[in-house]
Structure 1
Amino acid sequence: MCHHRPSSAFQKKGAGRRAPDSHRLPPGTGRSSRHVEAYVSLIPVLCHWQPCRWQFANGTVPVVLGCHFRRGWRQVAGTYLTLRQRQLARRLRELRHGSGMTVEQVAEKMLCSPAKISRMETGQRGVSLRDVRELCRIYDIANQNLATQLMNLAKEARQPGFKQEWGELSDALATFVDLESSAVAVSEFQITYVPSLLQTEEYARALIRGMLPRIATDVLEHRVEVRMKRKARLREPDAPRYWALLDEAALLRRVGGAATMRAQMQAVLEAAQLPNVTVQVIPLDVGAYMCADNPFVYFEIGDATMPAVVFIELLGRAEYLEKQEDLAGYREAVDRLRAAALNPQASLDLVAEASERYRF
């Protein structure tokens, strides 16, 4: 939760102190109140936090008060990007870097503004097939397969994503669902509650309500509905491989009462029987272990342009990490967590014991 004082008005020119660089908007975000409003409306994906407010300083320069981000994707409302859009943007950026050209040099050859090139490389602007052909010419791409891949990405990037298919979704949740649906494997680690794709409707409702006590009923019900739709994918023919890792504390934390917890434990046992689902529990007597304070979701995309993405959500911060050094660290974490946890059968025995505990 952001601890800064909210502000509902803009300061007059010259008022207020200059904010540190870490609190300023990213380059190219813009200076209008529309951009500021868009940038701050990140809605929690797993219901951990609420966004902070913004105010204008020095008349025109927007300054953020609050949430810090490490390197990674910064979710911007109104600029929801599908996985294909992110992949195309990343590939175009890599091609330009490989050519040794600057944004200005490419823009000059393409007879457009540098801002257009920059927006295409960040996914903030659509890329037409004509743009792709021109860029292939500028970068002197002789590999026809690569050119075809870029053209296909441009076509697929223009298709509606899950935000359109699933109705009213926050940008953050739409991105999460899009990644989850595109992944060939998902490893989710949770400490204090049952992993999201294993939750029952009653458990999910009680959990979200407990985390966000002021949430509107219609918003709550929509989030529960979306979570149940995500959960249903585990039973589809092309479902991803799902590896749920959870601390034993999640089995002990009573969410929604004994009846809800018993039903939830039974749901975990049933889901674990699916051929693509593995459940492992890290017992309390293990002690300290890697990522014991850092829940995360590791998406394996299985694509050369974006092999994996890590989602992390902490108090006041939500990120999507794709840097190789970050992925390597979380890949190690997944391996170490699996090694620290009980084997799948012993884990289910522990879940069954917890179910019996909630019988009375």
Structure 2
Amino acid sequence: MANFAERLDHALSKRGYTGAQVAAALTTAGIPITRAYVSQLRTGKQTNPTLQVLQALASYLQVSVGWLLGEDYLESGAMQDLQLRAAAIGASASGLSEGSLDLLRDVVDIARRAEGLPARTATNDLPDAARLSDIAVTALADRLRGLRVAARMSPADVEFALGRGVAAVAAIEEGKLAPAPATVARMLSLYGVAAPHLREHLMTLARGEREPSWYDSSTVSPLAATAYALEERASVIRTYQTQIVPPLLQTELYARAAIQVAGLATPGLTSVDDAVQVLLTRQALLTRPDGPVFWSVVDESALMRSIAGEEIQAAQLDALIQHAKRPNVSIHIAPITDPAYLPRTGPFTLWRFAEPYEPDLACAHWIESDELVTDTTSIEVYHQAFAKLSVITTTRDETLDLLYAHRQRLGP
């Protein structure tokens, strides 16, 4: 069995922390120690740390006290859901008498023996924490703090469920500690983040596979950030809009009016200015050299509906005329009179990606928020609806003629 000094040295090396960093973190958490003391513990010259120091070290290094003392186990975060269920059982035991706790422990021991499990979950090594930049650590910290607050959990709740110290939870949320990906995965499960694409969007940040982008700001909700990241990766974007001009083609003044009329549909954004800025940032993808093919079907009523006066509507039509001439943008108008087909759904968007084996995704635009659609059968239904719309809409040349006609209707 490894001794304390060996385990401490291994954990510090694995995490990439210096004695000065550990001393500063623990001192900030209210446990004053020096860099020299950490060095003495690491080399075995000091062998009697207090229980408070032990717990703080284990919390900061994201390990258990038992493992740090040399025991051959460590929670790895590998069976996240089962571990969280086990933690919930542990939470329900709070307040029981000593006799009841002894009985409960005996029952657990019997169950583990019956399933052929060892007394403690075995694992060979300490999970790696990704090498993250300071900006990535900060972005991840903001996300995890926001998700915890949304889940209505306190740092103490998280510490109890995950077996980590409150000091570590606080350090993670303050951006002072980069959590191991396994820890992040367990925190996401604890906070109820189950959607695969949403989890993966956050996990790529935790694993150091990408740097934060503009949509990783705490003012943009995790779901919206995931959708915007998928939008930026798409090679083909197909969208159907029934009431307004497609957002990626809106002018700034039209966008402001549309947001004011519909209300803020992006959770986390507290002002129209923020929502407009997010939209303008999204629009940059259409002018990238490697930008996607953008194919939109717009109901003709959107061209006739003046949501902020004729001047803004006229400027929007001028912008659509210019967009319609671009090689990577196709605008098609669904006629307002005698349409041959009208889907029962509301507005939606389809994304296709450059990777040959990555499946298409759909996004349904509802009243208060958007919803990612990942079921292949449902996505095929959206594809069929878009294909039927494409048959009954205007051609590229007809679109330009119709746009010019509506623009002339508004005068010079």
Taking structure 2 as the reference length, what is the TM-score of the superposition?
A: 0.50
CA contact (8 A) 2:241 2:299 kept: yes
- Counterpart CA distance in 1 for 2:276 and 2:382 is 28
SS in structure 2 at match of 1:303: coil
**Alignment correspondent of 1:311:** 363
Cα shift at 1:168? 3.1
Moved more, 291-300 or 212-221: 212-221
**Does the 8 A contact of 2:265 with 2:369 survive in 1?**
no
Contact 1:259 1:359 in 2 (8 A): no
1:236 pairs with 2:288:
yes
Determine whether 1:289 maps to 2:341.
Answer: yes
- The aligned counterpart of 2:235 is 184
2:400 is aligned, of 330, 348, 356, to 348
Amino acid aligned to 2:276 = V
Are residues 322 and 180 of structure 1, via their aligned partners in 2, closer, same or farther at CA, if it must alter by over 3 Å? same
**Matched residues in 1 for 2:195 and 2:320: separation?**
42
- Greater fraction of residues in helix: 2
Paired residues in the alignment total 238
Alignment match of 2:303 (pick from 238, 241, 251):
251
Distance 1:172 1:213, change over 3 A: closer
1:120–1:126 contact (8 Å) kept in structure 2: no
1:136-181 CA deviation, whole Å, 9 max, x = no partner? xxxxxxxxxxxxxxxx9996645424423x6732223312211110
Unmatched runs of 5 consecutive residues or more in structure 1: 1-25, 41-88, 90-111, 129-151
* Equivalence for 1:135: none
1:200 aligned to 2:251? Answer: yes
Kept in 2, the 8 Å contact 1:184–1:301? The answer is: yes
Contact 2:269 2:275 in 1 (8 A): no
Q: RCO (CA 8 Å, sep 6+): is it higher in 1 or 2?
A: 1
| Pairing partner for 1:38 from 150, 153, 165 | 150
8 Å contact kept, 2:340–2:392: no
Per-residue CA shift, 1:40-91, capped at 9, x if unaligned? 9xxxxxxxxxxxxxxxxxxxxxxxxxxxxxxxxxxxxxxxxxxxxxxxx9xx
SS at match of 1:176: helix
Name the SS for the 1:255 alignment partner. coil
Q: Which has the higher strand share?
A: 1
- Alpha-carbon distance change, 321 to 257 in structure 1, aligned in 2, over 3 angstroms: same
Q: Runs of 5+ in structure 2 lacking a partner? A: 1-80, 92-145, 153-180
Q: How does 1:215-226 map to 2 (within 5 A)?
A: 219-226=271-278
CA distance in 2, matches of 1:279, 1:127: 34
Residue type at the aligned position of 2:222: D
TM-superposed CA distance for 1:328, in Å, is 1.1
Give the 5 Å matches for 1:140-179: 157-164=209-216, 168-179=219-230
Aligned counterpart for 1:302 among listed residues 346, 351, 354: 354
> Cα gap change, 1:316/1:208 in structure 2, threshold over 3 Å: closer, same or farther?
closer
Displacement of 1:274 in angstroms is: 1.4
Cα separation, partners in 2 of 1:120 and 1:155, compared to 1, 3 Å:
farther
Inter-partner Cα distance in structure 2 for 1:153 and 1:229: 21
Instruction: Find the structure with the greater CA-based Rg.
Output: 2
Match of 1:270 in 2: 322
> What SS does the aligned partner of 2:360 have?
strand
Identity %: 25
Deviations 1:320-343 (A, max 9, x none): 011110121111112111111011
Is the 8 Å Cα contact of residues 186 and 243 (structure 1) preserved in structure 2? yes
CA displacement at 1:278 relative to structure 2: 0.5
User: 2:381 aligned to 297, 318, 329, which one?
Assistant: 329
Partner Cα distance (1:127, 1:163) in 2: 12
Tell me if structure 1 keeps the 8 A contact 2:265–2:368: no
Matched with 2:164 is: none
**Aligned-partner residue type, residue 187 of structure 1:** R
Match of 1:357 in 2: 409
Work out whether residues 262 and 358 of structure 1, in 8 Å CA contact, stay in contact via their aligned partners in 2.
Answer: yes
Give the structure 2 partner of residue 86 of structure 1: none
Q: Are the counterparts in 2 of residues 185 and 299 from structure 1 also a CA contact under 8 Å?
A: yes
The residue identity in structure 2 corresponding to 1:223 is: A
Which amino acid is the alignment partner of residue 228 of structure 2?
Answer: V
Whichever residue aligns with residue 306 of structure 2, its letter is: R
Q: Per-residue displacement from partner, 1:71-112 (whole Å, max 9, x unpaired)?
A: xxxxxxxxxxxxxxxxxx9xxxxxxxxxxxxxxxxxxxxxx9
Distance 1:195 1:284, change over 3 A: same
